[in-house]
Chain A
Amino acid sequence: MITVPEWINVILRSLTLIVLLFFLVKLLGTKQLSQLNIFETISGIVLGGIAAIHTMDPNTNFSYALIALVIWFLVPFGAEKIALKSKAFRDFTEGKGTVFIQDGKIMEDNLKKEGYSTDDLLEKLRDNNVFLASDVEFAILEPSGSLSVLPKRENRPLTPKDLGIKLAPSKEPQTVIMDGKVLVEPLANLSLNQQWLESELDKMNVSIENVFLAQADNDGQLSVDLFDDMIAVPAPTEKPLLLATMKKCQADLELFSLSTENMQSKEMYDKNSKKLQNAIDRITPYLS
Chain B
Amino acid sequence: MTVGAQVKGCYSSIKNIEASLGILANKTQDKESKQAFENVEQIIKQIKNDLQKQVIELSKEEPQYK
Contacts and interface: CB of A to CB of B under 8 A. Distances in A.
A279 interface: yes
A268 B56 CA distance: 14
A16 B12 CA distance: 73
Given A169-B33, A191-B29, A279-B40, A219 B24 contact: yes
Report, as a range, how many residues of chain B touch the other chain: 20 to 34
A169 B6 CA distance: 37
A168 B29 contact: no
Contacts, number: 86
Interface in B7-58: 7, 9-10, 13-14, 16-17, 20-21, 24, 27-30, 32-33, 36-37, 39-40, 43-44, 46-47, 50-51, 54, 57
Given A268-B54, A279-B43, A238 B20 contact: yes
Contact of B51 (A170, A272, A278, A283): A272
Chain B interface, >50% SS class: helix
Interface residues of A, number: 34
Interface of A: 168-171, 190-192, 218-220, 238-239, 242, 245-246, 248-249, 252-253, 256, 259-260, 265, 268-269, 271-272, 275-276, 278-279, 282-283, 286
15 contacts: A168-B33, A170-B30, A190-B29, A219-B33, A238-B20, A238-B24, A248-B13, A252-B6, A252-B9, A252-B13, A253-B47, A256-B10, A275-B46, A279-B43, A282-B40
